[in-house]
């Protein structure tokens, strides 16, 4: 039977399949059957690699396509997963090739393209190799169908400790007040690590505060009228944003815009003045100011103002299983099939438009899945110099 053959092959691609009984695997596979008759549509490995590396594929993904009144997977996602299943059955695609280029979401039971974050340019920027490496304990999570916070935190303990020590070392070397920004994809763990950093800094007697980039968004209607959906200059009160960063770095109290996510409006008009009846966000000066957002140092005018620029990464397959537990099971935030469409679409686009460009200009990258801390040669010199002086 096709299901029995796929069951054996998929166990080698995703260890979590071993936790399923064959009949449970068949339940999940029913969505994709029949596979026969699709053979003529199989792309060659080279063609398939080219397809999943094209921006057009992801831009074309529909988030809420419907059949019979319910949300279904986008057709492009269906075709990709069916091709990979059939390629496994027929031998057209080697197991090693599929594992190298795709990750399988066992809970959603479909394939996603593996996102490349460490490009040649990024690796060169970060000195060619990790600054520190540790045992890759996230491998212990490979069999999990979803991942909770405690298991995730324990797997990252060593590299997180190294990252926190590096941040504290840079603050000591560069002095305060200082702007610190940690970028990272959804469910990578950046919110948790920032909270732990704040607690440690406060324990050491430092004053800590934060600025949320989202508060600088202009009205949603204005952005949509102009076709602006990203967090670039045109999407925010850029002059106010730049001035706020300059003033907080100088130790001044600032009042930033306040964005209302319920009605999609800003407290400020496009000309930068406070609207009648609206209340700004007051941020007091502090030793360390965290700049929160997806793209905190992507804008070239902003990057030089940020004293510590870090990207906190976790492999897509781990993040998706975190989101199944957090956003679907606990928060009830997403309808499951909408969630599958959205994750497939957004990861590639955000990596290309947001995270890889920031990795090319950052001071350090935390690769929690690879259990490695990457830093630029300049930062490595600062951290090594501090350690040698203390010996």
Beta bridge partners of 179: 289
Looking at the chain, the whole-number percentage of residues with pLDDT higher than 70 is 96
Q: What H or E segment, with its residue span, contains residue 222? A: helix 220-225
Say how far apart CA 197 and CA 202 lie, in whole Å: 9
Q: What H or E segment, with its residue span, contains residue 84? A: helix 75-90
**Position 228 pLDDT exceeds 70:** no
Looking at residue 225, its pLDDT comes to 78
This prediction has a pTM of 0.90
Q: How confident is the model at residue 168 (pLDDT cuts 50, 70, 90)?
A: very high
Tens-place pLDDT, residues 308-350: 999 999 999 999 999 999 999 999 989 999 999 999 999 999 9
Say how far apart CA 2 and CA 33 lie, in whole Å: 9
* Mean pLDDT across 75-95: 94
Contact 322, 330 (CB under 8 A): no
Looking at residue 227, its pLDDT comes to 64
**Position 389 pLDDT exceeds 50:** no
Looking at residue 230, its pLDDT comes to 58
Q: Which two tokens stand for residue 195?
A: 């909270």
Contact 283, 343 (CB under 8 A): no
SS3 call for 191 = helix
Residue limits of CATH 3.40.50 in the chain: 120-207+286-390
* Closest to 13 in 3D by CA, of 84, 68, 117: 84
* Mean pLDDT across 278-294: 94
Tens-place pLDDT, residues 1-28: 788 999 999 999 999 999 999 999 999 9
Whether omega before 177 lies within 30 degrees of 0, making that bond cis, reads yes
State the chain's maximal CA–CA distance in angstroms: 70
* Mean pLDDT across 230-246: 88
Domain over 120-207+286-390 is classified CATH 1.10.3470: no
Say how far apart CA 299 and CA 232 lie, in whole Å: 7
Tens-place pLDDT, residues 245-267: 999 999 999 999 999 988 889 99
Mean pLDDT, all residues of the chain? 92
Say how far apart CA 39 and CA 60 lie, in whole Å: 24
Q: Phi/psi at 263 (nearest 5 deg)? A: -105, 0
């Amino acid at each position: 039977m096709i299901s029995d053959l796929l069951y054996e092959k998929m166990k080698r691609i995703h260890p979590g399949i071993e936790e399923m009984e064959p009949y449970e695997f068949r339940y999940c596979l029913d969505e994709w059957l029949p596979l026969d008759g699709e053979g003529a549509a199989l792309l060659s490995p080279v063609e398939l690699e080219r397809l999943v590396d094209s921006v057009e594929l992801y831009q074309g993904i529909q988030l809420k396509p419907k059949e019979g009144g319910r949300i279904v997977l986008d057709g492009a996602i269906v075709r990709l997963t069916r091709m990979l299943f059939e390629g496994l059955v027929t031998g057209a695609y080697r197991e090693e090739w599929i594992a190298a280029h795709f990750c399988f979401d066992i809970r959603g039971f479909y394939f996603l393209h593996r996102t490349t974050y460490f490009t040649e340019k990024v690796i060169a920027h970060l000195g060619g190799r990790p600054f520190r490496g540790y045992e890759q304990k996230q491998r212990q999570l490979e069999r999990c169908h979803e991942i909770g916070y405690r298991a995730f935190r324990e797997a990252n303990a060593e590299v997180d400790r190294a990252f926190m020590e590096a941040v504290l070392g840079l603050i000591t070397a560069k002095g305060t007040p200082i702007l610190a920004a940690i970028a990272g994809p959804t469910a990578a763990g950046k919110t948790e690590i920032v909270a732990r950093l704040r607690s440690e800094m406060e324990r050491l007697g430092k004053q800590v505060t934060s600025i949320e980039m989202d508060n600088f968004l202009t009205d949603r209607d204005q952005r949509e009228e102009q076709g602006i959906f990203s967090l670039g200059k045109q999407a925010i009160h850029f002059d106010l944003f730049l001035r706020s960063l300059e003033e907080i770095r100088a130790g001044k109290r600032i009042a930033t815009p306040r964005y209302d996510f319920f009605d999609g409006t800003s407290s400020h008009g496009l000309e930068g003045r406070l609207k009648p009846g609206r209340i700004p966000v007051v941020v007091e000066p502090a030793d360390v100011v965290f700049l929160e957002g997806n793209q905190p140092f992507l804008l070239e005018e902003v990057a030089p103002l940020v004293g510590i620029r870090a990207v906190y990464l976790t492999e897509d397959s781990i993040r998706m299983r975190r989101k199944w537990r957090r956003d679907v099971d606990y928060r009830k935030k997403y309808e499951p099939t909408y969630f599958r469409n959205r994750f497939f679409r957004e990861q590639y686009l955000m990596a290309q438009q947001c995270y890889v460009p920031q990795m090319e200009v950052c001071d350090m990258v935390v690769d929690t899945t690879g259990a490695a801390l990457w830093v630029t040669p300049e930062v490595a010199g600062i951290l090594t110099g501090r350690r040698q002086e203390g010996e």
